[in-house]
Amino acid sequence: MKTLPKPQRTTAERQPPRLEPWKLLVVDDEAEVRQRIERNLSDFSFASRPLEIIEAASARDARLKLREHRDIAVALIDAMAESDDSGLKLVEFIREKLGNRLIRLIIGVEQPDATLDRSIIDDFDIDVCQDKRQLTASRLYTTVRASIKSYRDLQTIELNRLGLTRILDITPELYNLHRDRLEDYFRGVLMQIIGICNLEHSGIISTIDGLVSTMEGEDIRIRAGTGDFRTGAESEFRRQQISGLCSRVVINNEHPKELRHNAMVVPLRVKEEILGFVYLELRVELTAEDRELIERMANQCAAALDNFRLHHSLEQSYDEAIDMLGHIAEFKDSATGRHIHRIQEYTRRLAMALGCPENEADLYARASRLHDVGKVGISDHLLRKAGPLDNDEISAMQRHTRIGDAVLSRSVSQGVARVIALSHHEHWDGSGYPNGLQGVEIPFAARVVAVADVFDTLVSQRPYKEPWHPDRAASEIEAGSGTHFDPQVVKAFMQLYRQHALDDLIESTESLPSAVHEAMKWRD
């Protein structure tokens, strides 16, 4: 962990960031009371932050101020302002209507023996019930200080809870390889750091090599930010400037003078490799325990990023292996390798149109690339035969579904691909092969791929046929609803087709006649 030295504060840039004041709302219909409170707290400061007093002469005025200032720490409310119960109605408004459970409430009463019912104190979480006439300058100071401290601690707990919730929500999904989810994990870690250490200002977590979101080499990509570093056009220049300075700290062990006083840079390190950094602008000096905690949290970030990178690499290798198997099958069949990528995209769009979540649709789409992998076991003579096949040849060709099943059975991770390879030639009416499955007995993914595969085959050149016009192929798909294909899948396909949502895939078919390509641009 690297903590920057304290340079001379010769420029405004090196000064500690300006601290926002604590906000105290004073609700009392007596101007003299409000003025006395303001005088007695004129030099108030807690945790190096001053106090801003917001006055309200009525409950109605207080409601407006509460809606305008959502970050009021403490409200000092006259229980009988305007009427006997207006103060308590205001308290109810704060807790129930606004749902503000963090603001600390001090209730002032007029009579020495006046008290609030315990149920009211408990229900509305009132901190102090104080005789207004006994609220001396000293007692006012200690009461407000204790209430602000309580507010600060509740803020810390809440921020910590939100950060921990975010981390716990995302941790089981880290290996699903969704980059935006990894960023959620980092945002949760940042919330934890700021909440536990009471930093409450600005910080970013960034990656140096861009592996979280892109494969763009040495680009610095900010993954989480708070305070001055939230995403926005105004802060973008400074975000990028700070990122460049931090990379010099963690890579070259430099200490740029341009970084602010008390700035802290913690590397995201795995063994000797730097994966990124945490940058924090601190208000006060941290304890050794806080620094150790930040370092531990940074180590957690680094481990998550390293695991993600490893699994991303494995996923890429997995995709390449699927591509190789798919291409082998397609090249044996004298078709182009682009066919399997079109099948993948047809499948993804169809699955999404049928209501599948995006991750599920992507799973089916990736698996669809291996639908004909079993053709590696079929002789070239059959695959390239220009004329019709006889009965024996048809039986031999149909074996490719069982061969694909056998090939993919060796890998647990290929379960969906195996189902598709085996069953994508089953027919809705039970007349398909290899098992004569009928209706919903056919796995859903296989039903989707069946439509995608037949349509792309019809519009493509094959040794035994010329490419069909897309409208004719779509009509053939529609005619097969309820016999060859699942009617719901056909319905979704035809909606996509008529909405021109498949035009880009159709136009990418290499063997489609040029006249058809041109007609596709103008079809209704």
Choose the final residue of a domain: 309, 341, 362: 309
Question: To 10 degrees, the CA torsion angle through 92, 95, 96, 101?
Answer: -170
What tokens appear for 271 in the block? Answer: 């063994």
**For the residues 491-503, what does the mean pLDDT come to?**
95
- pLDDT score of 381 more than 80: no
- pLDDT score of 98 more than 50: yes
- pLDDT score of 317 more than 90: no
β-sheet with 104-109: strand ranges across: 45-46, 49-56, 22-27, 74-78, 104-109, 128-131
Angle subtended at Cα 467 by Cα 464 and Cα 468, rounded to the nearest 5 degrees: 120
- pLDDT score of 232 more than 70: no
- pLDDT score of 324 more than 80: no
Choose the final residue of a domain: 276, 294, 309: 309
Reported confidence tier of residue 370, pLDDT bands at 50, 70, 90 = confident
Dump strand ranges (E) for 262-374: 263-270, 273-281
Q: Scanning the structure block, which residue is given the tokens 């995006």?
A: 358
Q: How many helices (H) and strands (E) does the chain have?
A: 19, 11
User: CATH code at 27?
Assistant: 3.40.50.2300
Mean pLDDT (the chain, rounded): 77
- pLDDT score of 17 more than 60: no
Same domain, 505 and 425: yes
Residue-number span of the structural domain to which 459 is assigned:
333-522
Angle subtended at Cα 24 by Cα 22 and Cα 25, rounded to the nearest 5 degrees: 145
Reported confidence tier of residue 424, pLDDT bands at 50, 70, 90 = very high
State in Å, rounded, how far the first CA of the chain is from the last one. Answer: 63
Side chain identity at residue 448, one-letter code:
V
User: CATH code at 163?
Assistant: 3.30.450.40
What sign has the CA pseudo-torsion 156, 159, 160, 161? Answer: positive
Share of the chain above pLDDT 90, in %: 27
**For the residues 137-164, what does the mean pLDDT come to?**
82
Choose the final residue of a domain: 135, 164, 190: 135
- pLDDT score of 361 more than 90: yes
What tokens appear for 360 in the block? Answer: 């599920």
Residues 61-84 as b/e (b if ≥16 CB within 10 A, e otherwise) read ebbebbeeeeebbbbbbbbbbbee
**For the residues 406-421, what does the mean pLDDT come to?**
82
Same domain, 373 and 462: yes
- pLDDT score of 86 more than 80: no
Examine residue 359 and state whether it is found in any structural domain, yes or no: yes
Same domain, 131 and 161: no
Examine residue 315 and state whether it is found in any structural domain, yes or no: no
Examine residue 141 and state whether it is found in any structural domain, yes or no: no
DSSP string of 423-492, one letter each residue: HTT--TTS--SSS---GGGS-HHHHHHHHHHHHHHHTS-BTTBPPPPHHHHHHHHHHTBTTTB-HHHHHH
Tens of pLDDT, residue by residue over 238-271, are 777 777 777 787 777 777 777 776 777 888 777 7
Examine residue 450 and state whether it is found in any structural domain, yes or no: yes
Angle subtended at Cα 227 by Cα 226 and Cα 230, rounded to the nearest 5 degrees: 55
Q: What is the pLDDT, as a whole number, of residue 29?
A: 86
Examine residue 7 and state whether it is found in any structural domain, yes or no: no
Query: Worst-scoring range by mean pLDDT, 35-44, 74-83, 440-449?
Result: 74-83
Which range, 72-86, 324-338, 349-363, has the best average confidence (pLDDT)? 349-363
Q: What is the pLDDT, as a whole number, of residue 514?
A: 52
Residues 6+ apart with CB under 8 A from 295: 1, 266
Query: Worst-scoring range by mean pLDDT, 76-85, 205-214, 354-363, 469-478?
Result: 205-214
- pLDDT score of 7 more than 50: no
- pLDDT score of 222 more than 70: no
Examine residue 144 and state whether it is found in any structural domain, yes or no: no
> Cα(57)–Cα(37) distance, rounded to whole angstroms?
13
Examine residue 142 and state whether it is found in any structural domain, yes or no: no
User: CATH code at 361?
Assistant: 1.10.3210.10
**For the residues 488-505, what does the mean pLDDT come to?**
95
> Cα(390)–Cα(398) distance, rounded to whole angstroms?
12
**For the residues 278-294, what does the mean pLDDT come to?**
73
Same domain, 118 and 264: no
Integer-rounded Cα Rg, in Å, for the chain is 34
Counting the structural domains of the chain, the total is 3
Reported confidence tier of residue 212, pLDDT bands at 50, 70, 90 = very low
Same domain, 391 and 471: yes
Same domain, 126 and 169: no
Q: What is the pLDDT, as a whole number, of residue 420?
A: 94
Q: Is the peptide bond before 434 cis (omega within 30 degrees of 0)?
A: yes
Same domain, 424 and 513: yes
Query: Worst-scoring range by mean pLDDT, 115-119, 154-158, 369-373?
Result: 115-119
Q: What is the pLDDT, as a whole number, of residue 214?
A: 25
Same domain, 125 and 164: no
Same domain, 90 and 162: no
**For the residues 165-192, what does the mean pLDDT come to?**
58
**What does residue 58 show for φ and ψ, rounded to 5 degrees?**
-150, 165
Same domain, 343 and 456: yes
Query: Worst-scoring range by mean pLDDT, 156-170, 213-227, 308-322, 337-351?
Result: 213-227
Dump strand ranges (E) for 79-183: 104-109, 128-131
Residues 6+ apart with CB under 8 A from 232: none
**For the residues 339-366, what does the mean pLDDT come to?**
92
Which range, 212-221, 319-328, 446-455, has the best average confidence (pLDDT)? 446-455
Examine residue 518 and state whether it is found in any structural domain, yes or no: yes
Same domain, 419 and 298: no
Same domain, 299 and 356: no
